[in-house]
Amino acid sequence: MAKKFAFLLVRDFTLSPLSLFIDTLRLAGDEGDRSRRV
């Protein structure tokens, strides 16, 4: 079963919080350097 995510962009939205969130997901997938997908 695939997980779905949605983002609600507001007027004062910057890409910094989004990039930090995506980087956290990327690092979680690389745990133990097995390069698995999240």
- Tell me the pLDDT tens digit for each residue of 3-28: 787 878 788 888 888 888 888 877 77
pLDDT at 35: 62
Angstrom distance (rounded) from CA 31 to CA 9: 30
Other beta carbons less than 10 A from residue 25's beta carbon: 10
Whole-structure pTM over 0.75, yes or no?
A: no
Angstrom distance (rounded) from CA 18 to CA 31: 21
CB 29 within 8 A of CB 38: yes
CA atoms within 13 A on the CB side of 10: 3
Angstrom distance (rounded) from CA 29 to CA 22: 11
